[in-house]
Structure 1
Amino acid sequence: MPPNVPAYLLLALLLAGTAASAARRHLPPVNAASAAAPVYIWPLPRSSTSGNRTLTVDPDLALDPKGPGGASPAVAEAFQRYRGLVFAPWAHAARPRGGRYDVAKLTVVVASANETLALGVDESYAIYVAAAGGANSIVGGATIEANTIYGAIRGLETFSQLCVFNYDTKNVEVRNAPWHILDEPRFPFRGLLLDTSRHYLPVDVIKQVIDSMSFAKLNVLHWHIIDEQSFPLEVPSYPNLWKGSYSKWERYTVEDAQDIVSYAKKRGINVMAEIDVPGHAESWGNGYPKLWPSPNCTEPLDVSSNFTFEVISGILSDMRKIFPFGLFHLGGDEVYTGCWNVTPHVRQWLNEHNMTTKDAYKYFVLKAQELAIKQNWIPVNWEETFNSFKENLNPLTVVHNWLGPGVCPKVVEKGFRCIMSNQGVWYLDHLDVPWEDVYSGDPLEGISNKDQQKLVLGGEVCMWGETADTSDVLQTIWPRAAAAAERMWSPLEAISAQDLETTVLSRLHYFRCLLNHRGIAAAPVTNYYARRPPIGPGSCFVQ
């Protein structure tokens, strides 16, 4: 819900005059500022009004924390990060002595000091930017109000996008002031999958991805750490598992993983880890060959062996100490069970338990779910599990769509929650999918029932790593992921009111340039194939 207006602002409203205060009691129309020109904030806020003044921002901009959560270290750290993004390193030294600025401090009011980051945490915020004593001013300077520190962090991102450097005056300015923005996300789950099994990504690269996610207000890093090609994560309970890594130099220690989770939390981003079982797990057997049904049948994992589930239990127990997020992804996709039938001891086990290989697939998934639930996790599974045995899935299950459209409507009709990642529009490794198609994807497509819509947690763009590594992963993600990010954050009516090829495209060009300025290697927007370099000279605002 939108943040509550503090008492001192309410008093200021009353003193500002009857006509002005009456106008401000009403929620501004969605994207009111766009009547004259596009709003160059990405993703588009829920509502905004603006004016025609230009305000200067002091390079020594000070943080004025208020409320129980205003003094949180997370807020102070975020303020320093954004100040570093907004101002050049030389800005303080170039500040004229005695210089006067319209915005000299940023007041951040946070109602709660609770730093718990969970699914559905309140990310709403309000921003007021006006010149002190101006005709339309309630409070001079800039104010961010939020119910939580994570709402404040989202507000800091928006405020930073309002700040523009003027190369003529060498000042940072807020144009089109006064600004009044009320904002909150459309969906609680706005994810990006990062695959570090197909290609190892150094910790610093993962942190760059996390930084870039925060700029687009994405809030879940789905870390697909392990797959059939490599097992790069340290698991203390079973220390030989990471013998499945490509090399000793392409691994993540427990401390690395904890560092990534901590880094993400400071940016309001949860980390949802995944082990994809029983398929996509061949690399496990490099350290523990008994996990393979046989040397000739290295995938899926051995369903007949108690040791298999002991290892899964140990992995989950160790990972629970690293990943506090309430959702855990158990995979369950693309399970080809044929070799179970041709492995004598597995076939014997199937016969003794009167199971087909399809039954064994169901048995494996449900047992893995039980182990995750014992660790107080909500299990997430790829859609094949729903398609194969929906009536047996644990009611807590979150179904993750990927194969195509029309799945989430079936999922929520059965009472399950759903995450949309339709590969036709939201798989970033599909380089021929243009940004317009990414922007058109919607998690609620085909769902009109309001109660069923509430079961859709949101969506996720997927950066599968078969053809992406450190050299090109960021430009494969961006700027197309930003198109999905706006779809998941901004109100549908605000998105629908824009013209795709004029308003949205110009705003996406602008955001891509912003990413480049912040050191994120975002590729040209209009390339036929994603991540390709420019085809010739030109401005980043038109490529």
Structure 2
Amino acid sequence: MALCYCYKPTLFIIVFTFFISQSFAVKISQPHHSLPFIWPLPAKFTFGNDSLSIDPSLSLTGNGASSSIVRAAFDRYRGIVFKNSYSFGFLRTGKVAYDVTKLNIVVHSKNEELQLGVDESYNLFISKATGSGKVTIEANTVFGALRGLETFSQLCSFDYSTKTVQIYKAPWSIRDKPRFPFRGLMLDTSRHYLPVDVIKQIIESMSYTKLNVLHWHMVDTQSFPLEVPTYPNLWKGSYTKWERYTIEDAYEIVNFSKMRGINVMAEVDVPGHAESWGVGYPDLWPSPTCKSPLDVSKKFTFDVLSGIMTDIRKIFPFELFHLGGDEVNTDCWTNTTQVNKWLQNHKMAANDAYQYFVLKAQNMAISKNWSPVNWEETFNTFPTKLHPRTVVHNWLGPGVCPKVVAKGLRCIFSNQGVWYLDHVDVPWDVVYNAEPLEGIHEASEQKLVLGGEVCMWAERADTSDVQQTIWPRAAAAAERLWSERQYTSGRNSNSTALSRLQYFRCLLNRRGVPAAPVTNFYARTAPDGPGSCFEQ
């Protein structure tokens, strides 16, 4: 289908529409220019017509200052907001009076455990008293405070004329919370190895869009880069001895993510997609010539799987653990003599053995206090046999989550036609208009949809192009998962979102994220000619 991108706002229009001079709360009936350039769009907000200057020596006050998570985030965002060196006054003479000198953060809970459904709501108030301004972020948890800090940072703008950082359209009142508890990005490090620093850069970028789950697809058919102390030969399946992740690397990624309010959901895909396991332990293959899926007939197979879970459970505290279960071709089982004999002895057809393997793996995960996540093939094949704690991960197409929640199971939406980022011909608006709750009308069933994630499969992406492939389209899904649907849909929603997403893409670029142009047909292609960042 031919696509036409006819709406290309100029920089003048972007600036003009943002600084319109009247105060109002967002309403569905309002024209699109009433929406501020905050991404993702907050749930409720009002703003005015004043400007406030911010002191480069901005200090942190309130009980949030006692949290290491909040203090570290404050320091990060202070560096982002005041990144222009001359904003620190190196070229300035005389004393400058700033309107805002302190940022007050109030957190109502001391609990800093990060789990599914943690309260990420926050209130952000920016007021202007006589000759001075006051900024307060109020949140129930430190993770809500992190989301408030991101919004605050997007309200700060460097003025090149005065060489000061300004908050325009004050006073602001923002009351915000996420639409879904699970807002994810899947990262595949098996098809191409990604260095730890690159993974961290992606995690940092996720925090800018308020995504909160990194789904780490660590191993697959092509490579097994992760260290497993109980079975140390497994990472012989890595591409090279330099393309590996130590236990310390994995812990560092989890800790780095938590400091940004992001959970890490590990995935160990079984029984298919596991040929690389046998490089270190050939007995896991049904035979030397038929290497996948894992040998269902051997106790050793499940011993290794249990050992992997035991080791990585010490690192990954998130309550969800992904067990894959997709694209299982059972021909190796039926075509290998000893495995086929085992099937016959246990009166199992190949599909019965597939179910047996998946359910046994689920029970292992549950015994370690994980809730298992499986790709949708498990539900499509034996829906009534899955453990009640199962989360079904949709990917093959639309209409799956309605069936899943009707059975009382939870669902994650990742329809490949709209949310697979390696499909570079899927444009931003298709990503943006996808709806995880499509076809689900009962409130009790809607609650079973945890949210969704965009998936960055890495057959054709590595360090050289992975971020251009992720951004800015992942941000389009991030707003769908965070913002109220009624404010981001309807007749004018795409033109509204396009101008805001172009603005946000430029913000990502300024923060050092190599986000690709928004409207290029192939997502990660370079600009086709000269032009402003705000028009590409």
TM-score of the superposed pair, with normalisation by structure 1: 0.92
Pick aligned residue for 1:72 from 59, 67, 74? 67
CA 70–32 in structure 1, closer or farther in 2 if over 3 Å, else same: farther
SS at 1:520's partner residue? coil
* Residue 54 (str. 1) matches residue 47 (str. 2): no
Residue aligning to 2:14: none
Aligned-partner Cα distance in 2 for 1:516–1:453: 36
* Residue 63 (str. 1) matches residue 53 (str. 2): no
> Would you say the 8 A contact 1:31–1:49 is kept in 2?
no
| Aligned length, in residue pairs | 512
Pick aligned residue for 1:386 from 376, 379, 382? 379
Shift of 1:189: 0.1
Residue aligning to 2:256: 263
Residue aligning to 1:4: none
Aligned-partner Cα distance in 2 for 1:33–1:48: 13
> Would you say the 8 A contact 1:31–1:46 is kept in 2?
no
CA 401–36 in structure 1, closer or farther in 2 if over 3 Å, else same: closer
* AA of the residue aligned to 2:73: A
Shift of 1:131: 1.6
Residue aligning to 1:82: 77
* AA of the residue aligned to 2:295: D
Aligned-partner Cα distance in 1 for 2:67–2:162: 35
Aligned-partner Cα distance in 2 for 1:443–1:455: 11
Pick aligned residue for 1:221 from 214, 222, 247? 214
Detail structure 1 runs of 4+ shifted over 6 Å in the superposition. 31-35
Residue aligning to 1:133: 130
Aligned-partner Cα distance in 2 for 1:142–1:498: 35
Aligned-partner Cα distance in 1 for 2:118–2:101: 31
Shift of 1:102: 1.1
SS at 2:116's partner residue? coil
CA 36–195 in structure 1, closer or farther in 2 if over 3 Å, else same: closer
Aligned-partner Cα distance in 2 for 1:32–1:211: 35
* AA of the residue aligned to 2:528: I
Aligned-partner Cα distance in 2 for 1:30–1:397: 38
CA 105–190 in structure 1, closer or farther in 2 if over 3 Å, else same: same
Pick aligned residue for 1:345 from 315, 338, 341? 338
* Residue 122 (str. 1) matches residue 119 (str. 2): yes
Residue correspondence of structure 1 range 9-408 to structure 2 within 5 A: 37-66=34-63, 69-87=64-82, 88-94=84-90, 96-133=93-130, 140-408=133-401
Aligned-partner Cα distance in 1 for 2:31–2:368: 48
Shift of 1:32: 9.7
* AA of the residue aligned to 1:386: F
Q: Identity, % of aligned pairs?
A: 66
> Would you say the 8 A contact 1:102–1:132 is kept in 2?
no
Aligned-partner Cα distance in 2 for 1:44–1:268: 18
* AA of the residue aligned to 2:442: N
Aligned-partner Cα distance in 1 for 2:301–2:214: 27
Residue aligning to 2:6: none
Residue aligning to 1:21: none
Measured against aligned partners, the alpha-carbon deviations of 1:134-164 in whole angstroms (never above 9, x if no partner) come to 8xxxx94111000000000000000000001
> Would you say the 8 A contact 1:70–1:113 is kept in 2?
no
* AA of the residue aligned to 1:288: Y
> Would you say the 8 A contact 1:300–1:336 is kept in 2?
yes
SS at 1:164's partner residue? strand
Q: Which runs of 5+ in 1 are unaligned?
A: 1-23
Pick aligned residue for 1:416 from 384, 409, 421? 409
Aligned-partner Cα distance in 1 for 2:157–2:31: 18
Measured against aligned partners, the alpha-carbon deviations of 1:415-461 in whole angstroms (never above 9, x if no partner) come to 00000000000000001000000001111010000000000000000
Aligned-partner Cα distance in 1 for 2:25–2:321: 39
CA 255–498 in structure 1, closer or farther in 2 if over 3 Å, else same: farther
CA 36–507 in structure 1, closer or farther in 2 if over 3 Å, else same: closer
Shift of 1:30: 5.1
* AA of the residue aligned to 2:200: K
Aligned-partner Cα distance in 1 for 2:160–2:76: 22
Shift of 1:98: 2.6
Q: Which runs of 5+ in 2 are unaligned?
A: 1-22
Aligned-partner Cα distance in 2 for 1:499–1:537: 28
Measured against aligned partners, the alpha-carbon deviations of 1:187-231 in whole angstroms (never above 9, x if no partner) come to 000000000000000000000000000000000000000000000
Pick aligned residue for 2:424 from 431, 437, 444? 431
Residue aligning to 1:5: none
Aligned-partner Cα distance in 2 for 1:35–1:476: 28
Give me the CA root mean square deviation: 1.6
* AA of the residue aligned to 2:298: S
